[in-house]
Amino acid sequence: MTMPFSLPLTTLANAVPPVRVLPNNADGFQEIFFRTNGQTDSAVWTDGLFMLTFWFSTFFFVLLMGLLVYWCIIYRRRPGVPQKISPSHNTPLEILWTVVPSSGMLVIFFLGFQGYMDKLVPASGALQLEVTGFKWDWKVSYPDGTQTGQTVTLGGRNDIKVHALPEDTEVSLRLLSNDVIHAFWIPDFRMKMDVFPNRYTGYGFRTPVLGPEDDHPEGRYRDHWVFCAEYCGDLHSEMAAVLRVMPRADYEQWLKDQGSSGDPVIDGKRVYSSMCATCHTVNGAKNIGPSWMNLYGSTREFEDGTSQIADDNYIRESILNPNAKIVKGFQPQMTSYQGVINDTDIANVIAYMKSISEHVEQPAEGEGEGEAPASETDAEGEG
């Protein structure tokens, strides 16, 4: 895919040593625009460039609008005051106001280019995360294969998935989509990249160092929102997640907690929250897909008029080849999870579905699984 020649872009970007364009302090206009500082080095760079551009623009804007208002007042049309003769052009002046802003733009371009290369190329040896976007959630795989299942309520939203990162660490993201184009945007890091089916994209950043303001009752961490920025369908606006930067020790512990608990129901529930909760509820409400409450063992009626009892094989087929049988009243919207979910997890999901179905005899104690999913935050024991 690479042309025989390729310009040495990185060399070009480093040809002029990067200079910090403005001091990094979130006050004044910078606070109005961004509220907080950029959280990574390259984000600070971006803020600086933005503010530089802002003042550059403001200078010309105020100049032009000032002249406009002033001249509109002093040259307003008044009865009995004849108009004046005035020049119709002035070549030196015109050259001046062409050249001066143009050179300013050259500077802005080059600073932007330097910041771009800085964001795009991850440091060698960085912690590499595989991010898969799908309708409508992100799946993040850690180098040891761990996937996240922890969710929190944040910013007025339930079921926001949390992905932990160690503080002060180089991270490299590799992005791939399972269906349509998404974009992985971390506003605090001032960086986004489109996520494509059948093509890897990615970028790198260095996670921030935690400060005293990051001590919370439940632990030491700082949250950063992730949004999907490329329009991808019905729940595009719900496709959010949180990157939680925490001390390295906490991160190691967190990673360990994400592993198997030994109980297929709990593991299945974790798979549910990480991959299925966007479209399927467990409280009986209808969403994009059918609710899982009392699904297992019930009789499913399909669009083509046939029906079937939901057993293990049916559920497995529905996960791997979802459009084979469409339940009456639903659209064939789900994409295949072949290659996304492994057999163990399918078994765990089935165990979880059994545990919330009245068509299956529950164990004597009954773990109270029927309760609303909003209280799910306790499952992982924060951090």
**68-97 residues near other proteins, rule: CB under 8 A:** 68, 71-72, 75-77, 81-90, 93-94, 97
User: At its nearest, how many Å lie between other proteins and the CB of residue 82?
Assistant: 5
Does position 314 bind other proteins by CB under 8 A? Answer: no
Q: Is 138 in the site for other proteins (CB under 8 A)?
A: no
The alpha carbon of residue 46 and the mean position of all alpha carbons in its chain are separated, in whole angstroms, by 18
Per-residue 3-state assignment (H helix, E strand, C coil) for 154-204 = ECCEEEEEEEEEECCCEEEEEEEECCCCEEEEEHHHCEEEEEEECECEEEE
| 3 state DSSP class of 133 | strand
CB of 136 to other proteins, least distance (A): 9
For the CB of residue 237, give the shortest distance to other proteins in the complex, in Å: 4
> Minimum CB separation from other proteins for residue 311, in Å?
20
Nearer to other proteins, 191 or 350 (CB): 191
Please give the DSSP secondary-structure letter assigned to residue 214: G
Helix (H, G, I), strand (E, B) or coil at 140: strand
Instruction: Pick out residues in 204-233 that bind other proteins (CB under 8 A).
Output: 204, 225, 227-233
Query: Minimum distance between the CB of residue 63 and other proteins, rounded to whole angstroms?
Result: 9
Q: What are phi and psi of 329, to 5 degrees?
A: 90, 0
Rounded Cα distance, 122 and 43, in Å? 14
Q: Is 192 in the site for other proteins (CB under 8 A)?
A: yes
Number of residues that bind other proteins (CB under 8 A): 130
Q: Using CB under 8 A, which of 211, 259, 332, 381 touches other proteins?
A: 332
Q: How many residues does the chain have?
A: 383
Strand partners, 164: 244
Q: Judged by CB, which is closer to other proteins: 106, or 360?
A: 106
115 binds other proteins (CB under 8 A): yes
By CB under 8 A, the residues from 243 to 272 that bind other proteins are none
> What are the tokens at 381?
């024991």
Q: Is 293 in the site for other proteins (CB under 8 A)?
A: no
As a whole number of angstroms, the distance between CA 220 and CA 383 comes to: 8
Q: Which of 25, 307, 323, 375 binds other proteins (CB under 8 A)?
A: 323
> Which residues 337-366 are close enough to bind other proteins by CB under 8 A?
338-340
User: Under a CB-based contact definition with an 8 Å cutoff, are residues 296 and 359 in contact?
Assistant: yes
- With a CB cutoff of 8 Å and minimum separation 6, the contacts of 86 are none
Which residue, 19 or 72, has its beta carbon nearer to other proteins?
72
Would you count residue 123 as binding other proteins (CB under 8 A)?
Answer: no
> What is the phi-psi region of residue 211: left when phi exceeds 0, alpha when psi lies from -120 to 50, beta otherwise?
beta
Q: By CB under 8 A, what part of segment 4-43 binds other proteins?
A: 6-7, 9-10, 32-35, 42-43
